[in-house]
Chain A
């Protein structure tokens, strides 16, 4: 048997020169299969992708996302000045974000492409930012070039995510205050695991939390959560299928420096106050906001059982090439293959019948609304 895109037989030592998570041994103890990802040795699965995915949607899943970049932005003078400087890098309102609240942001380049997507929170006297692992170094360099020594990478904290309908019950046993949080709230809690920086958000479409914890407290916190019946450890495999069903973009696949926020269907992240410009790439992004973009990110539902994965070419009924799949696989909660991709705007309406070329055969696929599974955030 020969694997097309993940070799069964390892050549050399693929784990050489990789960074290890602070919870590495805990993962191995729980039966994790570790794989290289973005320079880290990461747990791709524990019990199995399908079971972990369904467990997260039914109960609560614990994810180790410590490979992601945590950064503090501490104002040199005041928060308003820093917010204005940060806004020059993103088509997103920073100034209007209230203390104790978190928001989705996009670092753009001068061509209107996306350098990275991120989450940022106003924590009173500073901003707390979480960026993608693969972009971390470039982001910190970019932020530092514009914001100088206000940029302080966090190097002594793990990041855990607890996601699913039972996440609140579970975390509230350790931190009762989380029960009062709404979607995209943030708070700091002093616990026996150290000061936790908690946000009510995540990357699965489920209610849940992301928890920044000092290295010294990470294992204790993870063990306390995993000791609860409703909590199971979840790997990167299920993280990917969960976010795909939730219609959330994976940086480097569904969005990158050549896709704009408008093409990516992320205009909801651009507040009205920013639609006058004053950010990197504003000329193109504002033009696309008013005139539309040539292509759009869409959901895709393949008709049969064959998954359409990243790279599958898409065609209109008359054989014209119209786009490409950027993420795809099997959706365990949907019970069928699901995908996302970019198609020419004329073919982007929900319900448009297209064809995806899988191993030389053109198979029917329909443009579908995102998300595939409705979000269950606690608003």
Chain B
């Protein structure tokens, strides 16, 4: 598992990257009440706003961590947004990106480095 400074986790599945938010991020957000997922086959560039998460407190975005194509989205989050709080690093993945070269993930933090970031 890799981690971004924007509190996303990235997991490799074949040539796809699965993207979610960390437990820390989910806790900071509070109760999630709405998730807006991207369209399938959307081409995204690093930093694009891909997902909108609305909690009871605020709206947040998940930004694309790398360039790629959205190949799968977690439809369960549309009907059950609270899953983001219940199981942020498991069942509450948001989308899967097809990327050309998985070595782009090398730039991101590993678990220990992320633990240092959030103190």
Partner-B contacts on A (CB < 8 A): 1-6, 8, 44-45, 48-50, 237, 241, 305-307, 309, 329-330, 332, 337, 359
Contact = CB atoms under 8 A, between A and B. Distances in A.
Nearest to A332: B56
A8 B56 contact: no
Nearest to B52: A359
A50 B56 contact: yes
Interface residues of B, number: 26
Contacts of B49: 2
Contacts of A306: 34, 36, 54
B57 A8 contact: no
B71 interface: no
B58 A1 contact: no
Contact of A1 (B21, B56, B78): B21
B53 interface: yes
Contacts of A241: 56
A155 B40 CA distance: 59
Contact of B56 (A2, A330, A359): A330
20 contacts: A1-B8, A1-B53, A1-B63, A2-B62, A2-B63, A3-B59, A3-B60, A6-B57, A8-B7, A8-B60, A45-B30, A48-B31, A49-B31, A50-B31, A241-B56, A306-B54, A307-B34, A337-B33, A337-B34, A359-B36
Interface string B27-56: 011110110100000000000010011101
B87 interface: no
Contacts of A2: 6, 49, 60-63
Interface in B92-108: none
Nearest to A304: B34
Contacts of A359: 36, 52
A4 B56 contact: no
B30 A8 contact: no
